[in-house]
Amino acid sequence: MLNITDNYPMKNVTTLQIGGPAKKFVSVSSEEELIEAIQNAKQNNLDYLIIGGGSNLLVNDNGIDSLVIKNEIGGITTSKVGFLVPSEGKSDFPEVEGDSFEVRVKSGTILQNLVDYTIQHGLSGLQKLTGIPGTVGGAVYGNAGAYGQTISDNILSVVVLSERSESKDLSRMRVTLSKNDCNFNYRDSGFKRNHFIILEVTFQLEIVDPEILAKEAEDVLSKRLVKYPKGIKCPGSFFKNIIADTLPKEILQKIPKDKITYGKISAGYLLETVGAQGQILDGIEIAPYHANLFINNGGGTAKAFYDLAQKYAQKVKEKFGITLEPEVQLINLPPIT
Ligand SMILES: Cc1cc2nc3c(=O)[nH]c(=O)nc-3n(C[C@H](O)[C@H](O)[C@H](O)COP(=O)(O)OP(=O)(O)OC[C@H]3O[C@@H](n4cnc5c(N)ncnc54)[C@H](O)[C@@H]3O)c2cc1C
C-alpha cells in the first residue's frame, strides 16, 4: 500500500533545500510500487515527476502540481564476463576466465554506494564519480561526470519504463536500450527528451587493483571537498561548461587557452569575468571562490536563485556571445535565456 502525502515540501527532498509543495508525494522501493504510483497519478489526472536524490533540482517556490515519485529502488548484482575453461580437477564445473564484470544496478541505488562497491571489488570505471550525490538513475539522466569520467563511459544497456501512454499493463512497457539508444552527450542524454523512467543500468567494468582505484577516488574527493564543503546547500554546478569545438572562431579567440579543460570552457570562468563571484540576493550566494556555484545560505528562494542565474547568464551573453545552459533541472520555472 503506497503512502501518498499531500502538499509535500520539495525543500525536504532537494540538496538545495528550496522548493514549494508537491501536490502529492510518494517514495517507492520496488517496481511494483512505482507502477502503482504511476497508475494512481493517471487515475487522478495528475502528471508525475520521478526524482532520485534531488541533488540536481531547482523547484519553484510555488511548488509543482504533480505527483512526485521518489525512487528508492536499490540493488546491485554482478556477473563475470568471460569464457568457460575446465576447472582442472578443482571442481566438477568449468570456471569463467575474463578480465571484466557486468554490474547490474537498480536506478534508485545511491551512486556513492555503487562507486564504493566497484572500488572494493576492484572494478574500474566509476571511481572518479566519488562524491557526486544522488542516485544512479539521476546520474544516467544527466550523464553525470567529473574529472574526465562520465557515468555513460562503461554502460552496456539501460532498462526503462517507456510509459507515457494510456496502457493499463505498465509492466509490459519495460524496454532494454543499448548504450547507443540512450544518446549520451556531455551532461545530456535522450532521457531528457523521451522522459522514460530509468529502472536498471548495466555496466561492464574491467578488473583493476582496488588499491589503485581507492587512491584515485581519494585524490578526487580531496579536490571536491574544496569546492563542495560538507553540508553545502546547492544543486552542484548550475550551468554546463561549454564545449569549445561548438563555438565560432571569433568567440573562441576571446577565451584564454588555460580556461579550456577536457575540451570545455568553464562556465565558472565566464561568470567570474562578468562579476558573478560573491554576489548575494535574498539568501542565495554565488560562491566567492567559484562563480558557477549558487548556494542557499539559509532562507533562500527559488526566485532569488533564478533571478541571479538569469542576470549573470545575460551578462555572459552580452560580453562573450555565449548562451549558458543550465545543468540543473528547472522544475516549474521558465527556461533561462
Ligand atoms: C554538492 C554537489 C556536487 C555535485 N557534483 C556533481 C559533479 O561533479 N558532476 C555532475 O555531473 N553532477 C554533480 N552534481 C549534480 C547531481 O548530483 C547529479 O546530477 C546527480 O547525478 C543527480 O542525481 P539525483 O538522483 O539527485 O537526481 P535528481 O536531482 O533527483 O533528478 C535530476 C533529474 O533526473 C531525473 N531522474 C531522476 N531519476 C530518474 C529515473 N530513475 N528515471 C528518469 N529520470 C530520472 C529527474 O526527473 C530530474 O529531471 C552535484 C550536486 C551536488 C549537490
Query: Please, which pLDDT band fits residue 172 given cuts at 50, 70 and 90?
Result: low
Q: What is the pLDDT of residues 7-55, one digit of tens each?
A: 999 999 999 999 999 999 999 999 999 999 999 999 999 999 999 999 9
- Examine the domain organization and report whether 88 and 202 are in the same domain: yes
Is residue 186 predicted with pLDDT exceeding 70?
yes
Pick from 70, 107, 128, 132 the residue to mutate for probing ligand 1's pocket: most ligand atoms within 8 Å of its CB.
132
Where is average pLDDT lowest: 159-168, 239-248, 256-265?
159-168
**Residue 130 CB–ligand 1 contact under 6 Å:** no
- Examine the domain organization and report whether 85 and 66 are in the same domain: no
Q: Which three cell numbers stand for residue 229?
A: 564543503
Specify the pTM. Answer: 0.95
- Examine the domain organization and report whether 81 and 220 are in the same domain: yes
Span from the CA of 139 to the centroid of ligand 1 (angstroms): 5
Q: Are 336 and 309 in contact (CB under 8 A)?
A: yes
CATH number at residue 272: 3.90.78.10
- Examine the domain organization and report whether 294 and 269 are in the same domain: yes
- Examine the domain organization and report whether 180 and 266 are in the same domain: no
Domain presence at residue 262: yes
Domain presence at residue 167: yes
Is residue 140 predicted with pLDDT exceeding 90?
yes
How distant is the alpha carbon of residue 306 from its chain centre?
20
Show which of 44, 71, 98 is a domain's final residue: 71
Pick from 55, 112, 237 the residue to mutate for probing ligand 1's pocket: most ligand atoms within 8 Å of its CB.
55
Domain presence at residue 136: yes
Beta strands 260-261 and 264-265 are: antiparallel
| Structural domains in the chain (count) | 3
Burial class (CB in 10 A: 0-12, 13-18, 19+), 325: middle
- Examine the domain organization and report whether 48 and 136 are in the same domain: no
- Examine the domain organization and report whether 161 and 253 are in the same domain: no
Is residue 287 predicted with pLDDT exceeding 80?
yes
Show which of 163, 194, 224 is a domain's final residue: 224
Nearest to 195 by CA among 61, 323, 38, 74: 38
Q: Whole-angstrom Cα distance, residue 80 to residue 99?
A: 8
- Examine the domain organization and report whether 94 and 189 are in the same domain: yes
Q: Whole-angstrom Cα distance, residue 143 to residue 156?
A: 14
Q: Are 10 and 63 in contact (CB under 8 A)?
A: yes
CATH number at residue 167: 3.30.465.10
Q: Which three cell numbers stand for residue 165?
A: 501512454
Q: What is the pLDDT of residues 54-82, one digit of tens each?
A: 999 999 999 999 999 999 999 999 988 87
- Examine the domain organization and report whether 194 and 318 are in the same domain: no
User: In sequence order, which residues have a C-beta less than 8 Å from that of residue 5 and are 6 or more positions away?
Assistant: 24, 25, 26
- Examine the domain organization and report whether 82 and 214 are in the same domain: yes
Phi, psi of 268 (to 5 degrees): -60, -40
Domain presence at residue 229: no
Is residue 164 predicted with pLDDT exceeding 60?
no
Better-scored residue on pLDDT, 323 or 165: 323
Span from the CA of 184 to the centroid of ligand 1 (angstroms): 15
Percent of the chain scoring above 90 in pLDDT: 84
**C-alpha gyration radius of the chain:** 22
- Examine the domain organization and report whether 146 and 119 are in the same domain: yes
Mean pLDDT across the chain = 93
Domain presence at residue 336: no
Span from the CA of 326 to the centroid of ligand 1 (angstroms): 13
Q: Whole-angstrom Cα distance, residue 106 to residue 202?
A: 9
For residue 43, give its domain range: 5-71
Domain presence at residue 118: yes
Show which of 224, 245, 264 is a domain's final residue: 224
Question: DSSP string spanning 246-271?
Answer: GS-HHHHTTS-GGGEETTEE-HHHHH
CATH number at residue 38: 3.30.43.10
**Residue 146 CB–ligand 1 contact under 6 Å:** yes
Q: Whole-angstrom Cα distance, residue 226 to residue 186?
A: 24
- Examine the domain organization and report whether 149 and 9 are in the same domain: no
Neighbours of 209 (CB within 10 A): 10
Span from the CA of 134 to the centroid of ligand 1 (angstroms): 5
SS3 of 94, please? coil
Q: Whole-angstrom Cα distance, residue 108 to residue 70?
A: 9
Q: Whole-angstrom Cα distance, residue 148 to residue 129?
A: 10
How distant is the alpha carbon of residue 202 from its chain centre?
16
State residue 174's pLDDT score: 87
**Of all protein residues, whose CA lies closest to atom 3 belonging to ligand 1?**
236
Domain presence at residue 232: no
State residue 170's pLDDT score: 61
Question: DSSP string spanning 121-134?
Answer: TTEESSGGGTT--S
Is residue 143 predicted with pLDDT exceeding 60?
yes
